[in-house]
């Protein structure tokens, strides 16, 4: 029927074949079944946790004051946008010169504009440049940027890559998800009494921490592989396959957490949200996907799309986002699905992405980084106790994603160098992690203090990737694939 159903059927078939091999079946049971069993036990244990007095700044309040609604100061808005673009390009260029992904520089530029730096060294200037009443407009524009970005992520996602890589890819991809998911939930047993409150259930908190630990920045990973000429190597194709599974699984679990959290504060019952999402997916993958082939044929016939067809794609993207928001999820889920149902012709996909990419990357995403920086206050992480928690989060994130992936890859027959390199690549979080964290802060599953700690974790784990990859797997060691599926 639909592409996602077809993907799950292929995935299930490959998993069944994997389990038919006794040695691989035992490995799969240990590396995938074990963490899943631990996750179930943790969720049961968490029900009896009592909340300790929260640390300073760790309670669930909005990261920024309530946003005033009114006509924006257009001169101030233009100045803000200009400053954000200038700083993001400058810091991004500097960070690229030391071998780091540009996204790290753009994240750092956002932090420089927020209370972590500008608000600390020049609070008066910060208040003048980014007054509270102007943040609502920046937030709205940043959300538009996320919608376009997630549409492109869905469009670029190749759900068949895992099937082509064979049974070992199934083992590694599943283990690379459930290991950090379970470890994040275990970490929640320690963090929940200290950094949460009674408005958030332990299940919501634990599952969100698990998702945040298991996320991989698919676009950043692909860019690192491309820059190092590893896309066509055995390591590169395996990394793309595992990241594809991680994207699908992570967003599905996050959608459940968001629906669960919003259901407690919404008049829409959870069963109506689930039913509405099911109908939405059936319509998108069963009807809209078929209709989109007509747009693909129009492109193949003329080499471009008319303005009417481009307008239709924009409307599809916006309506899809609006529907998931109305169902109690988030705008980005609808945008992701809109991208996932698009035709998979490579030229057509590149054509559509080119029409969205410049505006999104040069203007809208820097606004998202700036807004994230304005919500992040590293000053809230104060005292040895808070920094100790931050260190624990970073160690757990690296152990779950890098460690879990590396062990699974080695058990699947890859050499240790390749296994560690694959773990380092999957440990890249980048922009995707920031999107997840902002959603968690919006629905108040995490507190501003925990949000700041997790942003630090996202920066550290992403910056680790290039030097660690160069150390364990220089480009000269890349092995090209002999043929697909091997």
Q: What is the mean pLDDT of residues 144-169?
A: 75
The pLDDT, as a whole number, for residue 270 is 66
- The better pLDDT of the pair 11, 348 is held by 348
The pLDDT, as a whole number, for residue 349 is 87
Does residue 486 register a pLDDT over 50? Answer: no
pLDDT category of residue 264 using cuts at 50, 70 and 90:
low
pLDDT category of residue 7 using cuts at 50, 70 and 90:
very low
Does residue 369 register a pLDDT over 70? Answer: yes
The pLDDT, as a whole number, for residue 66 is 43
The pLDDT, as a whole number, for residue 71 is 56
Mean pLDDT (the chain) is: 81
Does residue 8 register a pLDDT over 50? Answer: no
Least confident of 101-105, 222-226, 428-432, 475-479: 475-479
- Exposed, middle or buried: residue 332 (CB in 10 Å: 0-12, 13-18, 19+)? buried
Coil vs helix vs strand at 382: coil
Q: What is the mean pLDDT of residues 459-477?
A: 84
**pLDDT tens figures, 212-259:** 998 888 777 877 887 777 766 778 878 877 887 777 777 778 888 887
**pLDDT tens figures, 414-463:** 888 889 999 999 998 888 888 889 888 988 899 989 999 999 999 999 89
If we measure between CA atoms, which residue out of 77, 217, 141 comes closest to residue 369? 141
Bridge partners of residue 233, in order along the sequence: 480
Least confident of 74-78, 245-249, 463-467: 245-249
- The better pLDDT of the pair 94, 55 is held by 94
Q: Which stretches of 342-415 are DSSP H helices?
A: 346-359, 365-375, 383-398, 404-411
The pLDDT, as a whole number, for residue 414 is 85
């Amino acid at each position: 029927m639909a592409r996602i159903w077809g993907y799950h059927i292929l995935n299930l078939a490959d998993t069944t074949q994997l389990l038919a091999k006794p040695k691989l079946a035992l490995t799969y049971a240990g590396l995938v079944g074990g963490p899943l069993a631990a996750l179930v036990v943790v969720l049961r244990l968490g029900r009896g946790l009592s909340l300790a007095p929260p640390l300073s700044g760790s309670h669930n309040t909005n990261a920024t004051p309530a946003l005033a609604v009114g006509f924006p100061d257009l001169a101030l808005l233009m100045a803000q946008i200009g400053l954000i673009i200038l700083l993001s390009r400058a810091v991004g260029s500097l960070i690229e010169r030391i071998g780091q992904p540009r996204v790290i520089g753009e994240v750092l530029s956002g932090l420089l504009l927020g209370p972590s730096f500008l608000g600390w060294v020049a609070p008066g200037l910060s208040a003048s440049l980014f007054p509270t009443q102007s943040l609502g407009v920046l937030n709205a524009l940043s959300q538009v940027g996320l919608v376009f970005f997630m549409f492109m992520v869905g469009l670029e996602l190749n759900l068949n890559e895992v099937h082509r890589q064979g049974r070992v890819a199934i083992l590694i991809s599943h283990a690379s998800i459930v290991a950090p998911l379970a470890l994040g939930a275990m970490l929640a047993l320690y963090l929940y009494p200290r950094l949460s409150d009674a408005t958030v259930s332990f299940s919501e908190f634990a599952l969100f921490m698990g998702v945040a630990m298991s996320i991989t920045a698919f676009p950043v990973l692909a860019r690192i592989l491309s820059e190092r000429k590893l896309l066509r190597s055995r390591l590169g194709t395996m990394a793309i396959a595992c990241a594809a599974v991680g994207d699908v699984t992570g967003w599905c679990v996050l959608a459940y957490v968001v629906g669960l959290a919003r259901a407690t504060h919404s008049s829409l019952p959870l069963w109506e949200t689930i039913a509405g999402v099911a109908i939405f997916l059936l319509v998108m993958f069963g009807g809209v996907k078929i209709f989109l082939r007509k747009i693909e044929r129009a492109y193949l016939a003329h080499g471009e799309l008319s303005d009417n067809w481009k307008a239709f794609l924009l409307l599809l993207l916006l309506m899809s986002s609006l529907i998931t928001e109305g169902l109690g999820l988030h705008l980005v889920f609808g945008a992701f699905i809109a991208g996932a149902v698009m035709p998979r012709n490579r030229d057509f996909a590149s054509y559509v992405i080119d029409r969205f990419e410049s505006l999104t990357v040069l203007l809208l995403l820097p606004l998202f980084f700036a807004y994230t920086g304005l919500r992040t206050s590293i000053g809230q992480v104060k005292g040895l106790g808070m920094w100790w928690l931050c260190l624990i989060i970073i160690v757990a994130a690296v152990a779950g994603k890098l460690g879990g992936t590396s062990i699974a890859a080695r058990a699947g027959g890859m050499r240790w160098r390749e296994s560690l390199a694959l773990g380092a690549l999957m440990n890249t979080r980048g922009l995707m992690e920031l999107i997840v964290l902002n959603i968690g802060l919006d629905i108040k599953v995490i507190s501003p203090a925990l949000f700041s700690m997790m942003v630090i974790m996202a920066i550290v784990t992403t910056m680790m990737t290039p030097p660690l990859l160069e150390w364990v797997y220089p480009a000269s060691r890349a092995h090209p694939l002999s043929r697909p599926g091997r």
